Chain A
């Protein structure tokens, strides 16, 4: 599965997004990325079965519990957990998913990519949303530039 810039732009054009695997720890990337999306006026809904509330916002145990439903899900769990999340997304009628690609692969694996395809989900596989947010901090722009140099940056399409 090859992710295109068009898919990434399509995902980031959504308004109501579940962020699955948000940590309660403000120092964790999942927490700061969730806050970043909120500050950019996304209706970003936290999902973490170990928390009922994060930063005063109701936190859901599963994307299937979110009402009204979300348009997309950013999955920041391990790949093992992500397989179940993908099934939940499909059952909840969520058509767009982003398998976060962190160190060690994050939620992206051969199995999760295959599962996303089997469910017919429009999938961004790998990559970090920070790289594609308008006016993102220089660190993330450098990250994107590095990916361009190595040829792993998404292509137009």
Chain B
């Protein structure tokens, strides 16, 4: 049985919606999935999961200095070694993601030697392109 955990940080509910749609898609592929906020998720437990998807809304000054915000960073600092898991990142945004994924990767750092997915959605909905990207990611599991 393949297991997945989708952990999100959402300021207004948009990133939560995307996390829930990602979770529903994973479930539809037969993957036992848990969707949790950074406030509810147990970071240490992610060491035992096959697929980890970490999401955060894009904070920044409109089109510059995009970055994950402090609650997401605080959660990431608690992450164990995710070396046995496939790891992906996702974000929602208004205008541009800019440096968002680079900042997210830098924060995760060595805890996840490989990050095989960067998924973004402006409106918090999993688009057909996003679903295909997710399927390609799942194909590598």
| Interface presence of A150 (CB below 8 A) | no
Contact across chains for B71 and A137 when beta carbons are under 8 A apart: no
**B2-51 CB contacts (< 8 Å) to partner A:** 9-13, 37-40
| Residues of chain B at interface, number, CB under 8 A | 16
Give CA–CA (A40, B39) in the complex, Å: 6
Contact of A32 among B12, B38, B59 (CB under 8 A): B12
Residues of B within 8 A of A138 (CB): 59-61
Q: How many A-B residue pairs have CB under 8 A?
A: 35
Return A110 CB to nearest CB of chain B, in Å: 33
Q: Which residue of A lies closest to B17 (CB)?
A: A26
Contact across chains for B12 and A39 when beta carbons are under 8 A apart: no
Contact of B70 among A26, A27, A38, A134 (CB under 8 A): A134
Contact across chains for B69 and A35 when beta carbons are under 8 A apart: no
Contact across chains for B59 and A41 when beta carbons are under 8 A apart: no
Contact across chains for A41 and B13 when beta carbons are under 8 A apart: no
Contact across chains for B39 and A26 when beta carbons are under 8 A apart: no
Residues of A within 8 A of B9 (CB): 39
Contact across chains for A38 and B40 when beta carbons are under 8 A apart: yes
Contact across chains for B61 and A39 when beta carbons are under 8 A apart: no
Give CA–CA (A36, B38) in the complex, Å: 10
Residues of B within 8 A of A36 (CB): 11
**A108-151 CB contacts (< 8 Å) to partner B:** 134-135, 137-138
Give CA–CA (A26, B12) in the complex, Å: 8
> If the complex has contacts A38-B37, A38-B39, A39-B39, are A135 and B13 also in contact, measured as CB distance less than 8 A?
no
Give CA–CA (A135, B70) in the complex, Å: 6
Give CA–CA (A26, B16) in the complex, Å: 11
Return B42 CB to nearest CB of chain A, in Å: 12
Q: Which residue of A lies closest to B12 (CB)?
A: A32
Give CA–CA (A38, B36) in the complex, Å: 11
Give CA–CA (A71, B102) in the complex, Å: 39
**B53-103 CB contacts (< 8 Å) to partner A:** 59-61, 69-71, 74
Q: Which residue of B lies closest to A42 (CB)?
A: B39
Q: Using a CB–CB distance below 8 Å, which chain B residues touch chain A? A: 9-13, 37-40, 59-61, 69-71, 74
A-B contact pairs, 9 of them (CB 8 A): A27-B13, A35-B10, A36-B11, A38-B37, A39-B39, A135-B71, A137-B69, A138-B59, A138-B60
Closest 10 pairs between A and B when the two form their complex, measured CB to CB: A135-B70, A39-B39, A38-B39, A39-B71, A135-B69, A39-B37, A134-B70, A40-B71, A26-B13, A39-B38
